[in-house]
A and B are shown apart, each in its own frame.
Chain A
Amino acid sequence: MTKLNLTRRKFIVGGALVGGGLAVGYGFLRDGDPANAALTATTMEGEVALNAWVKVDKDGLVTFAIPRSEMGQGVYTALAMLVAEEMDANFSELVVEQAPVADVYANIAVMKDALPFSDKHHEGEDTIGAWGMAKLGQFLGVQVTGGSSSVRDAWLPMRQAGATAKAMLVAAAARTWDVPPAEISVTNGVLSHGGSGMAGGFGDFAILAASETVSLDPVLKKSSEFTLIGTPQPRLDIPSKVDGTAEFGVDIELDGMVHAAVKLSPVLGGTLASHDASAVKDMPGVLKIVPFESGVAVIADSFWRAKTAVEALPATFNDGPAKEFSSGGILTLLEENLESEDSRIYAETGDARAAIDEAQSAVKAVYKVPFLAHACMEPMNCTAMVTDTGVEIWMPNQVPTLIKWFAEKIADVPAENVIVHTPLLGGGFGRRLEIDLVIMAVAIAKEMKNRPVKLLWTRENDIQHDIFRPAAVSRLEGALGSDGRISAWANRIVSQSVSGSYTARLLPWATMDVPDNTTSEGAADIPYEFTSRLVDHVPVKLPIEVGFWRSVGHSYNAFFTESFMDEMAYAARADPVDFRLAHLENHPDFANVLKQLAKVSNWSTPLDQGRARGVALHESFSSIVGQVVEITVNGDKEITVDKVYCVIDCGAVVNPDTVKAQMESGIIFGLTAALYGEIEIEDGVVLNSNFPDYEMIRLGNCPEIEVHLAPSGRLLGGVGEPGTPPIAPALTNAIFAATGERLRELPISRAGFIA
């Protein structure tokens, strides 16, 4: 990969002085676009937007606009900490609100990670691929929350926003007090001049500050000067989440609002053939029956009445191509494709194929994982109001820019008349990157113009019409050298392409057949040093929609590779931790996580009969996570997951308690999938329907979790997803240690184990 010597400054394009307000621009700004225009439009009387992220009113109320969706990952608090740190604002008194939709809030970090191949940008290199994707990201201006990217993306611009806002307030105070700005200090939201004893709050200078001109490239604090970043701060959203006042998408209440419930084609991808509106039109509260492509909606004066009527509504469907597919058959098809001639190579060093063929005793294994649903606690919903000239959307979503584009398209109104509100999300996990709900809600609301229509899916709609984590199969082969280390490693993965499936949903006319890094992430870029390696992927197309599920390709590739590392360790008669360390000589950061993990988990201390430990180490979204699982197994294959030890190196830590919470969350999410997760499809119909048959971990079987932070000073990594990938292999490696049975298929119930 060509290396470009691009400095950070060259990425700073924005910075326009417009309308008396200073625009701090890190992202791309179109000519004449003031970066703070969208936020200024939200200001109240006596309040100014000092840039696109900071508003201050004359009474001193400081409001930060957060351009990412809060779905539980603590982003409102973490991003507010970045701004407050540099602004020296009083963290206990500020307010956060959802930022509007505007180009300035584009997520550039996630675009760089969306490269169709793996490069070294996540190791800090200015690669041309990352540069190009950043440019594309700035051009498209897509506001998206995903890829564990929020803090990585905001790290510079939102600290700059805080620093610049502070400089503007200081400049205004200096002008008022007639003293040099350098003599003014700011602590906890109070400006003071030491020499004269003059002091004032942000509110005293807010209006004046808005017309100050300051450097667009402010000097930021050194990490040793941080007083907020790196300290555990209480989450700003928690008080509203314990007294019932937090407003999620499903809680939106609007004047004249009506409710929609839907009946969807039982076969995935099927279409509505006929329906009999007359059968339900006189049921209580029913206002309108609206057919659409994939189903039919009833609009009523309450959700319950809409749901009752739509369930009674006779409808028939055209099945579509998924009718030919069942989940068992799909796994067989994926396995058959292990022999395909048509693969994409994602990593190749030396001639691994020849080395394995020549090896005296190569180890071979085939692994399989099923389709999975997201099952966000807040069922899918979208409220839309369509008028003759515009459309307004209230929707818990991870990508307001796309929601806006599709609302515009379906409502067929001018772009400037589209408004998107993003309330709190009751879970996201990638499901709310999708556009299916906005398309459906606007199509339904078009038939009841000038009234807000709240479309709410039932849990059955949600499980059966999710956009699933793809099923995947991997064949791993390895050979040991005479030194007991892996001399050759070959991993062929077969699955649908998530990026390809997503792109086809956004742009159905585009036939995208390009590499997809998500298929091999966590397989091609593993740190272990092998003499030769080959990692390739065979893309399979199926008429079943697949999407981004917490940690995406890592969710299965970690299971494949870290299980097989364990198999190789066993073949080498080596301790699984020592064996991994022997392949990490040039990766001290990975080795450090593993060593700390071995220490905190008492790895070398024997456990009682019937108990065992398993280990896994995996990097995703630029963070290294190691986990040790302790289990108890009895002769009836009944498993208790007793404890999970977790060590994470995510570079700099913003809110340590949030990092721990996200590790706990990711572990339980991944463990739930490993123990129970399986979407079963028969003749194109999803057999699971609700929590009783798409089971979740609960309090009673949730392990104790102990998280240790091991920041090494490497580049900033994400935390929302990296806790998930290692838990499945750590669990099955523990099962092997306890029973000698190697589980190569998830969930573990496939092998008769009961949790």
Chain B
Amino acid sequence: MLRLDINSELHEVDVEEDTPLLWVLRDTIGLKGTKFGCGVAACGACTVHVDGEAVRSCSYPVSGAVGTKITTIEGISGEMLNPVQLAWIQEQVPQCGYCQSGMIMAVSAFLAENSNPSDEDIADSITNICRCGTYPRIKRAIKRAAALQGGVQE
């Protein structure tokens, strides 16, 4: 049995230790907001936070997450949307939407580290794939989210 702290709830799971965190979240715990895209940490659709850092959960063994605080898209979606989600709606970012949980998790961890990123910072740090090509809107939404987080309304 492995003990996991997911979105501030404790779970005990009976899985092989090398099972990727992604599949524990989706199939064992039933949190479907985190997506499977490539299985090789290339696309970022599976991004979650482990102790506040963005990790690609498809290639992150669950045993490595024991003793950490894991946060998924569900964990940042309470009654109130966070500034990244709000900016995503205001800029009408998603199309098919499949990659967007991972995008939002990657961006929210990134903005926690860098509250006023330049275009270069964004380009270097957010490497998730969106096949629908929502990147131009994502760029705008990141800037907007940064402004919202800083308490500055655009």
Contact = CB atoms under 8 A, between A and B. Distances in A.
A698 interface: yes
Interface stretch (A25-33, A232-240, A290-298): A232-240
A691 B133 contact: no
A214 interface: no
Contacts of B139: 699, 702
B137 to A, nearest CB: 7
A243 B35 contact: no
Interface stretch (A69-77, A146-154, A410-418): A69-77
A376 B131 contact: yes
A185 B132 CA distance: 42
B92 interface: yes
A669 B133 contact: yes
B97 A698 contact: no
Contacts of A666: 133
Nearest to B43: A691
Interface string B114-152: 000000001110111111111111110000000000000
Given A72-B97, A377-B96, A244 B42 contact: no
Contact of A427 (B15, B32, B85, B98): B98
Contact of A690 (B32, B42, B98, B131): B42
Interface string A687-729: 0001110001111111011000000000000000000000000
A258 to B, nearest CB: 11
Contacts, number: 181
A661 interface: yes
A244 B27 contact: no
B95 A244 contact: no
Interface string A541-573: 000000000000000000000000000000000
Contacts of A253: 30, 32
Nearest to A456: B36
A72 B33 contact: no
Interface string B11-47: 0000110011001001110111111111110110100
Given A244-B32, A426-B98, A704 B130 contact: no
Contact of A705 (B73, B94, B136): B136
A699 B42 contact: no
A259 interface: yes
B85 A242 contact: yes
A427 B129 contact: no
Contacts of B31: 244
Contacts of B127: 698-700
B73 A244 contact: yes
A684 B7 CA distance: 47
A98 B27 CA distance: 25
A244 B26 CA distance: 12
A698 B127 CA distance: 6
Contacts of B81: 242-243
Contacts of B37: 377-379, 459
Contacts of A304: 15-16, 19-20, 23, 27
Contacts of A704: 136
A303 B23 contact: yes
A238 B137 contact: no
B129 A698 contact: yes
B95 A665 contact: yes
Nearest to B20: A304
A672 B133 CA distance: 9
Nearest to B16: A284
Contact of A692 (B20, B42, B88): B42
A424 interface: yes
A373 to B, nearest CB: 11
Interface string B91-117: 011111111110010000000000000
Contacts of A494: none
Contacts of A458: 39
A690 B40 contact: yes
B77 interface: yes
Given A243-B81, A303-B27, A424-B97, A702 B135 contact: yes
A247 interface: yes
Nearest to B127: A698
Interface residues of B, number: 58
A250 B94 CA distance: 18
A242 B99 CA distance: 10
A232 B85 CA distance: 20
Contacts of B19: 304
A692 B96 CA distance: 22
Residue of A239, A669, A702 most packed against chain B (CB within 10 A): A702
Contacts of A665: 95, 132-134
A302 to B, nearest CB: 4
Contacts of B15: 302, 304
A664 B38 contact: no
Contacts of B101: 244
A378 B20 contact: no
Nearest to A283: B16
Contact of A250 (B20, B35, B88): B35
B96 A426 contact: yes
Interface in A201-252: 234-235, 237-248, 250-251
Given A234-B89, A425-B96, A664 B133 contact: yes
A81 interface: no
B74 A244 contact: yes
Nearest to A253: B30
A71 B39 contact: no
Contacts of B32: 244, 247, 251, 253
B96 A427 contact: yes
Contact of A377 (B98, B104, B136): B98
Contact of A378 (B40, B96, B136): B96
Residue of B37, B39, B43, B135 most packed against chain A (CB within 10 A): B135
Contacts of A239: 89
A458 B31 CA distance: 19
Nearest to A702: B135
A259 B134 contact: no
Contacts of A428: 96
Residue of A237, A243, A246, A284 most packed against chain B (CB within 10 A): A243
Interface string A658-688: 0001001111110010000000000000000
Contact of B131 (A241, A242, A377): A377
A699 B40 contact: no
A377 B130 contact: yes
A459 B46 CA distance: 13
Contacts of A238: 88-89, 92-94, 97
A702 B92 contact: no
A699 B27 contact: no
A60 B114 CA distance: 47
Contacts of B40: 459, 690-692
Interface string B52-63: 000000000000
B33 A244 contact: yes
Residue of A237, A429, A697, A698 most packed against chain B (CB within 10 A): A698
Contacts of B92: 234-235, 238, 657, 661
A535 B70 CA distance: 60
Given A247-B32, A302-B28, A699-B126, A427 B132 contact: yes
A239 B88 CA distance: 9
Given A665-B134, A697-B135, A691 B89 contact: no
A391 interface: no
A242 B104 contact: yes
Contacts of B135: 668, 697-699, 702
What 9 A-B pairs have minimum CB-CB distances, sorted nearest first?
A244-B33, A668-B133, A72-B96, A426-B98, A241-B97, A72-B95, A700-B123, A244-B73, A243-B77
Given A244-B31, A692-B42, A698-B135, 10 more contacts: A238-B97, A377-B45, A377-B98, A378-B96, A456-B36, A459-B39, A661-B137, A664-B134, A691-B129, A696-B131
17 contacts: A240-B97, A242-B88, A242-B100, A245-B77, A250-B35, A302-B27, A375-B131, A377-B98, A425-B96, A426-B96, A426-B98, A428-B96, A667-B133, A668-B132, A669-B133, A697-B135, A704-B136
